[in-house]
Copies of this chain bind each other. A is one copy, B any other.
Amino acid sequence: MDDDTATEILDATYRALCQHGYAALTVKDIAAEADRSKASIHYYYDSKENLFTEFLDFLYERYTAKITGVDGSTPREELDSLLDTVLTDGRQTPGQEFRTAILEIKAQAPYNDAFRTQLARFDAVLFDRLREIIAAGVETGEFDSRVEPAVAAEFLVTAITGAHTRHVATDRSIDRFKETITRYAETHLLTDTPAEATR
């Protein structure tokens, strides 16, 4: 299959997924969204699961580009910009519908090795980028020298994942979570927190 065809099918998968959710989604829905026959999708992907393994790979490439692409003139700015990227309001791009579908896919992971392997890669790229930024901040003295980059990064990945889950499960604004997590970063990572600062 040429790249254009692949991208076209995977873009259609994204739209169909947001519309139907993962469980209810059929290859027929994806075909309709791509304006193709169901047979032509099956020609390239022999099952919905295979298509989704490829789809997760496609999302991973986009996610990696977004995560590695964040910038700022200091590590603190980079961290802010990264938190902005992963904790955008779910009512805009990528949308609560998409986050809901991803949560459905996460709930499939125990039954599907390929999904689990793919999801672990998303986890890893976010962890690596956070660790890198935090280590740079410790290096420049912007972050407290007692901060252990790997420990803080691991904790932030967990909190960010929790923010996504709670946003879907309880419909609370992701902005509130961003505020809480940013506050953690500012209070516990930055050097010279004034004594009167709230934790």
Task: Determine the chain B residues whose CB is within 8 A of the CB of A101 once the complex forms.
Answer: 107
A168 CB-CB contact with B under 8 Å: yes
Q: Which of B158, B164, B181 contacts A177 (CB 8 A)?
A: B158
B155 touches A181 (CB 8 A): yes
Residues from chain B with a CB closer than 8 A to the CB of A159 are 155, 158-159, 162
Secondary structure of the A contact surface, majority rule: helix
Say whether B106 contacts A168, CB under 8 Å: yes
Asked if A75 is at the interface (CB within 8 A of a chain B CB), the reply is no
Number of copies: 2
Known: A109-B171, A151-B199, A162-B163; 17 extra A-B contacts, CB below 8 A, are A21-B107, A104-B107, A107-B107, A107-B168, A107-B169, A116-B170, A119-B170, A123-B170, A146-B196, A148-B198, A155-B181, A158-B159, A158-B163, A158-B166, A158-B181, A160-B162, A188-B199
27 contacts across the A-B interface (CB closer than 8 A): A21-B107, A23-B23, A100-B107, A100-B110, A103-B103, A103-B106, A106-B168, A107-B107, A107-B168, A109-B169, A109-B171, A110-B168, A110-B171, A119-B169, A120-B169, A123-B170, A146-B198, A148-B198, A151-B183, A151-B198, A154-B180, A155-B181, A155-B184, A157-B166, A158-B159, A161-B161, A187-B188
- Asked if A111 is at the interface of the complex by the 8 Å CB criterion, the answer is yes
* A80 interface hit (Cβ, 8 Å): no
| Neighbouring B residues of A70 by C-beta, 8 Å | none
Point out the residues of chain B lying under 8 angstroms from A157, CB to CB: 162, 166
Out of B148, B161, B180, name the residue touching A162 (CB < 8 Å). B161
- Residues of B with C-beta under 8 A to A195: 146
